[in-house]
Structures are given as C-alpha cells and as structure tokens.
Structure 1
C-alpha cells in the first residue's frame, strides 16, 4: 500500500473522472457515486467543481490516503508510509492499518449504498467486470427499484443481459459523450 500511495502523485483524473464531476455540478437531484477504487482520483476531479447538496461520493473499498485504528475504528488522513506496527494516536492498544477493505471484510457504507440503489432512477456501471459481489449485485437492486440500468465498459461483461443498455469503448471517450446527452 505504501508503493500505491506514493504512485498517486504520478496520476491525474482522466476524462471519465472529470465527466462525472461535471455531471455532479449540473445534476439537480440526488447523485451517489460509489467507487470500488481506493485511489483519490474521483476526489481530485470533484475538488475543482462545485457539487450540489444531493451529491455524495462513497469509497466502498476504502481509501489509500487514510488509515484506521484497529482498536477504536477511528479513520484519519495518512498520506505517508505506514508500518505494520504503526502505533495509533487514538487508542493505546491499537495500531494503524490501511483504510482498505481486505478480502473477507464487508465493504464500507453498505447501508448508504443499498438506500441509494433502492431510490435510483438511473444506474450506471462504469469500467467494472461486474463479477465480484456485493458490487455485482447492485444492478439487480437498482432494476428492482425501477431504475434504468446502463453498462459502460470496454466490452460487454458476462452480466450484460441484466442491463437495459450498454455503451462500449474506453470510458475516457464513451462516458463524457454519454453523460453530455443526459
């Protein structure tokens, strides 16, 4: 995780990240962006664009630039390297670990995600295999709520038949055009 954290300084948000930020700036209702990525590219793309009160960004698998106390659960910003025995400033019995959801752990903010899916009018699945649960089940939850569902990906996934529509090609090209037409 230390190497990945350092690599964040070398990357910038791409046109797909910026298109989502532009959408959040002009959207008049609720817009929930759930990312499985642990980088800060969505945060940086949205930092320069004012978003409405209905916008929320959920990092369901955690964030590279944060650490969590193993004893108290307190989360804090942590831009530097983290050792396995890093003492926690929040609890004498705790150590800090990356604020990352590891295999076997429950993704973060699931109640908020489920509530957003239950109220969705439109569900976009962008750049994912759609094969890993619980995220792979989000499209079905959105469909059950009556949402229009769209897969935006390099190519159709094995779950393509669950979506109402599909847009295929590089997200940096296809997503800005799709969102411009919304």
Structure 2
C-alpha cells in the first residue's frame, strides 16, 4: 500500500502516540546552507568519503582532514537554524506537546536523534530557553542525541579529553584556509589543533597535554553515539518521524524497520522519494523547512 499524505490522519496518529522518536538527516539543514552528502552537489559527490571520514585517513593525512573540516566548521558556525529545526525544537515545550502529543508517556519530549554534526538543532533548542524552566531545558538537551558527534567538539588523541569550542580558527595555521585552497598545502602536525590550544606551554595535564586533536565526529567504522539509549527507546516507539534522510547508512537505516516490526508507524518528510520510503505509513514530499512546520502545526 502506498504511504498516505493525509495531514489530519498523521496528526491523529501523533496525538495518540505514547512514545515518539524523531530521526533527522542532512536534508534538515539544507535550507541553512549546509550541503547534504549524497544529494545534488553533496559532499560525497565531489569527494571520496573514505578520504575525509575515516580514522585511518586522519592518521595518514591529518593536515588535509583538518583543512577540510575547518571549512565545514566555518560554514556550520555561520549557518542559522531554519524553520524545520525550530518546529522540531518547539516539541520540547510543554504547551506544544500538550496540544500536539497529549498522550506521550511520562510527559517527556520525543527522543530526537540527529545525524547532523552542525549543532543547528542544539542551537534551535537554545533559542527557546527563555520559554522553559531550567529543569525543562536540561530534559530537552538530554532528549537530543547528536549521534554523529559535533563539529564544535574535539577529542585529544593522547589524553582523550573532549572539549567544546566555538572559537575559530582552532589554530593559527588554519586561519587562511578556504574551501578553494583546502588541502593544497601541508600543515605540520605540531601546527595543527592541539590539546591545550596554540599557547600550549609543554604541560602534560589532562585537557592540556599538547596532543593532536581530531574532530569529535563519528566517522565510518566508528560506533555512533547514544546507541544504547536509542535501542531501548525504539523498543517502545509508536511513531518514528524521519526528516531529511534517505536512510541508507546503518545503523540509522534500520530504525524504521525496528519500529515497524513492533507495530509502530513511520512518517517520512523528505525532498523526494528514496529507498528509505519502503516502510513509510506517511510520506510528505517537499523542502522540510516548509513541510515540517506546516504539517506539525508547530508554533515557536
């Protein structure tokens, strides 16, 4: 049976669901100026993913990888959350939940799993902080899983310290790197981002040990973050809302099948048809910055 595009029928299912999970992919951030990976002009259309998204390649070419992610990071820092980010974020507000999802168990926000590392979903949440208590803000953040990490976090390969920083550039040598020239020069390892920053003074303390940093992004071959919590939640999910992803990369590609096998419903919001639609009960095509706010009838 072809998936339904009936807005009211979807909202009825949403209203009756006790546990809702939202899974977002790169399509969520397109309207914010962040390219997808496999779509038109996607990053993996012009670059080999194994050259920029594996720990092995980072060991081979930390200079080239850091130049690439420096440019991606610059783009993400300049971007702003779009209407779809804000509509999804608004679901953490008790007033919105009581109107759209009155049947939610434990009155908790839906679990929101984003495969994007741009932090735009987190920033959308932060934009609503003045409408939440401190306890509600804490819960909202706990219910957001950045399963592929964050472009604004780094991890030290030596002491394993994880740091969150929005300053740019992360080291002077990256300051003049642009997308047009990224990878054309070799930056010595001791001039790349290091634990303790550019002013590291030779200390060997945790978080300031001078070790080489890498982006705290989940690369191919690494385990996505939050998988234990995600697996537990999917066991009881009544409705999985998939936004802006073709659902081709595992383990996220298997989430819909898991929910469906337990009797749950799947709603897909995507620009166009994809292989991930095979399990969909509802399918809403078009730019998600238009379809998500409209169909969810979310206010923010």
Q: TM-score, normalised by structure 1?
A: 0.88
Question: Residues of 1 paired with 2:155 and 2:224: CA distance?
Answer: 14
Q: Secondary structure at the match of 1:42?
A: helix
Q: CA RMSD in A?
A: 2.1
Q: Name the one with the larger helix percent.
A: 2
1:98 equivalenced with 2:215 (yes/no): yes
- Native 8 Å contact 2:268 2:282 kept in 1: yes
1:138-172 deviations in Å (ceiling 9; x for gaps): 11122233321111101121131211111111101
Provide closer, same or farther for how the CA distance between residues 94 and 146 of structure 1 changes in structure 2, counting only shifts above 3 A: farther
Q: Secondary structure at the match of 1:166?
A: strand
**Gaps in structure 2 of 5+ consecutive residues:** 1-68, 98-106, 172-188, 197-205
Question: Residues of 1 paired with 2:194 and 2:260: CA distance?
Answer: 45
Question: Residues of 1 paired with 2:74 and 2:210: CA distance?
Answer: 28
- How far apart are residue 116 of structure 1 and its match? 1.9
Q: Name the one with the larger strand percent.
A: 1
| 2:176 corresponds to | none
Kindly name which structure, 1 or 2, has the bigger radius of gyration based on alpha carbons: 2
Asked which structure has the greater RCO (Cα within 8 Å, sep 6+), the reply is 2
Question: Residues of 1 paired with 2:110 and 2:85: CA distance?
Answer: 14
- How far apart are residue 82 of structure 1 and its match? 3.9
| 2:153 corresponds to | 66
1:130 equivalenced with 2:237 (yes/no): no
Q: Secondary structure at the match of 1:39?
A: coil
- How far apart are residue 38 of structure 1 and its match? 0.8
Provide closer, same or farther for how the CA distance between residues 116 and 72 of structure 1 changes in structure 2, counting only shifts above 3 A: farther
Q: TM-score, normalised by structure 2?
A: 0.55
**Gaps in structure 1 of 5+ consecutive residues:** none
1:20 equivalenced with 2:88 (yes/no): yes
Q: Secondary structure at the match of 1:159?
A: helix
